């Protein structure tokens, strides 16, 4: 991959929070793969945000179709794993969430396990503790006065409270290995702004006979799907009203219509209209 081109393209992103730098990148992939295991249809990555104002680091999911032009999700984007509360092992630093391990739990459900590195303090305060190694003394042994004289710039931080607070946070900082996990494929989802909403996919060539949903509905919620031609007309028997609404929490539920199936539109150009009612949809997949 042309890394210079990648940096140029990615840093042209809009809606970047003030003080944010993009610090590190890795393909998001299962262990043993060098890039996303998606048959070349879509590449996923994890980019590390280093926010200089907050002095916190966290990772965000990004995607590409050609490995050169990378895209962020919309304004409602959230980190792959949010920083924990003050004092927790990942309050200031979450990194390394690129490789995951598929694991089946006791219920036979597939989960994705992500080893990562967490840091308990805001990043610059971790650095001040690390700097004491050259003196072969702990920060506690060097004392608060040494801390203040060595790092006068800390007082300029927008989140500065007191020298004692900063000193104690820096002393207590640790970097620890940690583990995050989620149900398979649940790295991002679409949900209605209110309780109900819908979207329609771009036209695609149907090459399968089964539609699989990775979705979770709240109480009384549902996911409904309509199969349309390229002009937006519903195929007979595959309209919204003909479908059997999905409710539940599954990573590979097969969606069905009462009297028809996808085999009738095999190799045709179609669009999927999806209606969500109090539901989170993580993915749609066409399978044989």
Which of 176, 155, 174 is CA-nearest to residue 95?
176
d(CA 110, CA 248) in angstroms, rounded, equals 16
Task: Flag whether pLDDT at 7 surpasses 50.
Answer: no
pLDDT, tens only, 259-273: 999 998 999 999 999
Quote the mean pLDDT of the chain.
Answer: 89
- Specify the pLDDT at position 37: 83
d(CA 61, CA 79) in angstroms, rounded, equals 7
Residue 199 has phi, psi (to 5 degrees) of: -150, 160
Tell which wins on pLDDT, 226 or 12: 226
Distances (CA, A) of 178 to 11, 28, 77, 95, 104: 29, 17, 23, 10, 19
- In this structure, how many other beta carbons lie within 10 angstroms of the beta carbon of residue 131? 14
CA 243, chain centre distance (Å): 30
Question: Mind listing the domains of the chain with CATH numbers?
Answer: 3-119+177-183 (no CATH), 123-172 (no CATH), 196-287 (2.60.290)
pLDDT, tens only, 24-66: 899 999 999 988 888 777 899 999 989 888 899 999 999 998 9
């Amino acid at each position: 991959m042309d890394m210079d081109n990648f940096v140029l393209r990615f840093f042209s992103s809009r809606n970047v929070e003030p003080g944010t730098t993009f610090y590190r990148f890795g393909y998001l992939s299962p262990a043993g793969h060098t890039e996303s295991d998606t048959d070349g249809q879509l590449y996923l990555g994890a980019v590390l945000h280093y926010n200089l104002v907050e002095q916190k680091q966290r990772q965000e999911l990004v995607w590409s179709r050609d490995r050169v032009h990378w895209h962020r999700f919309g304004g409602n984007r959230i980190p792959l794993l949010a920083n924990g509360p003050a004092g927790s092992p990942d309050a200031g630093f979450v990194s390394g969430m690129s490789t995951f391990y598929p694991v089946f739990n006791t219920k036979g459900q597939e989960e994705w396990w992500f080893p990562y590195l967490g840091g308990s303090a805001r990043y610059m305060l971790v650095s001040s503790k690390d700097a004491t190694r050259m003196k072969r003394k702990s920060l506690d042994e060097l004392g608060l006065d040494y801390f203040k004289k060595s790092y006068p710039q800390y007082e300029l931080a927008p989140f500065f409270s007191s020298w004692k607070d900063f000193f104690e946070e820096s002393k207590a900082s640790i970097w620890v290995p940690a583990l995050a996990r989620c149900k398979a494929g649940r790295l991002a989802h679409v949900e209605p702004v209110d309780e109900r909403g819908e979207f329609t996919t771009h036209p695609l060539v149907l090459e399968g006979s089964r539609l699989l949903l990775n979705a979770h509905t709240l109480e009384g919620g549902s996911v409904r799907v309509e199969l349309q031609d390229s002009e937006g007309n519903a195929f007979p028997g595959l309209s919204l009203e003909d479908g059997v609404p999905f409710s539940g929490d599954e990573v590979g539920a097969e969606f069905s219509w009462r009297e028809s199936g996808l085999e009738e539109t095999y190799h045709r150009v179609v669009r999927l209209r999806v209606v969500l009612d109090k539901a989170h949809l993580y993915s749609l997949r066409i399978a044989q």
